[in-house]
Amino acid sequence: MSQGWRKISIVLFIALIALSVMLAVFGSASTNYTAESVAKDYSLPIGQSMFENQSITGTTNPVQVPLITNFGFLVHQLQAFDLHGILMALSTGVVPFDFSTVAGKGIDSYGNVVDVKGPGFLTYAGDKLSVKEPDHYVWAYSAPSKWLQKTKSGVDVYDNGKKVKSVPASEIKNLEYKNEYYNASTIADWYNYDAHEGSQFTLEKGMVGFSDGRNNISAEDVPKIFGQDVVDYASEYPTGSPILLYAGNYTQQAGEAYGTDLGSHPEYGDDIREVNAKQFVDAWNGTVIPPQTSASGKDYVYFESASDAQAPGGSAAHGVCPSARALRAAVTSEGFDLPVGMCWDEDAVLFGYNPAQDITVYNNHTYPVKINMWTEGDGTGMGIYGQIVRYVPN
């Protein structure tokens, strides 16, 4: 080692000793912080979803505090052997906040999220701040984030609870709101035939009522946090449906498949019955039900009516009952209750219940399940099948 470097090393060594002495003397004068006081002072978003490497402060700029009242934070600089940071602190009179004093699991001393798999969220763990990893399963309920509300003269448009504009009835057909499941024509039909004053038509869906207690999220944040697949799934189902957002380490375990056939009832029109049977299968196939929740089939599924003097109104969606019997067998054999909107008769769907949106299945397991339905063949001999797939945790 050259003589010049030896002198520099000695100077640094002496400086560090002197700094350590100063820390011992002045460290007791450091401001006392608590997790709650820091969260309040810096408006930390308790309950907000967060990912690895994200700052809990929402900014890449470090939180800086006065050195004179936080001299103990130089310990952090020493431990990191951050000579530049030490010199900056001594020269500027401010020092980066050491989050290790108020944070526990999932947060490093700089306030960044670390060692968290999946979408965690900021919370309290005892007297510390923490970023909690997602539970084995995380689900929530879809809720309107942007919607139309029918008025006496047209519709009002709401975005995150605020009315943004009013649209007269004559202009509803020109609205540009659309996705894979609705467009201006769908909205006009809703307005003219289904809605009454005060009725709502959901355009975009956020998520509320999270199973792990995190904050509700808006429609624009759903794909950022949980992916576009969740948005697409929620779009298919009625507003208010339970949506499985995250699943950790699990194995899919297929239950027994239960089947029936369409059969022939020409008095109701077997062609119509076949269409309705397939529509029922489409409405329920792929439905995922989180634990201890009830779910229906898909929205925007339509059934053909056939004349029936015994039915209220003189018509019914004949053909759905064979498919309903397959679903009924699959869910009750799993230990679930008889679905709401069904009975034990051969005509399994009760009058007055839409076979997709009104029938509900309750999952009494402690893990999610998925309903699989499919058909084989065509015509009156078409086979119809239902099966439960369990998402069993490993």
Cα distance between the two ends of the chain: 57
Is residue 84 packed enough to be buried (19+ CB in 10 Å), middle (13-18) or exposed (0-12)? Answer: exposed
d(CA 317, CA 8): 89
User: How would you label 31-62 residue by residue, b for 16+ Cβ within 10 Å and e otherwise?
Assistant: eebebeebbeeeebebebbbeeebbbbeeeeb
Residue 329 in contact with residue 386, Cβ under 8 Å? yes
pLDDT at 300: 92
pLDDT score at 2: 57
Res 29: pLDDT: 43
| Ranges in the chain, pLDDT < 50 | 23-29
One-letter amino acid for residue 309 of the chain: A
Q: Name the one residue in this structure whose structure tokens are 């970023």.
A: 131
Q: Write out pLDDT tens, residues 82-108.
A: 655 666 656 666 777 889 889 999 999
pLDDT in tens, 180-221: 999 999 999 999 999 999 999 999 999 999 999 999 999 999
- Contact, 95 vs 88, CB < 8 A? no
Per-residue confidence (pLDDT) for residue 85, from 0 to 100: 61
- Rounded distance between C-alpha atoms, residue 342 and residue 321, angstroms: 9
Q: What angle do CA 372, 374, 380 make, to 5 degrees?
A: 150
Distance of alpha carbon 258 from alpha carbon 373, whole angstroms: 10
pLDDT of 80 reads 58
pLDDT of residue 272: 95
Contacts of 310 (CB under 8 A, 6+ apart): none
Question: Among 150, 148, 115, 145, which residue's Cα sits nearest to residue 130?
Answer: 115
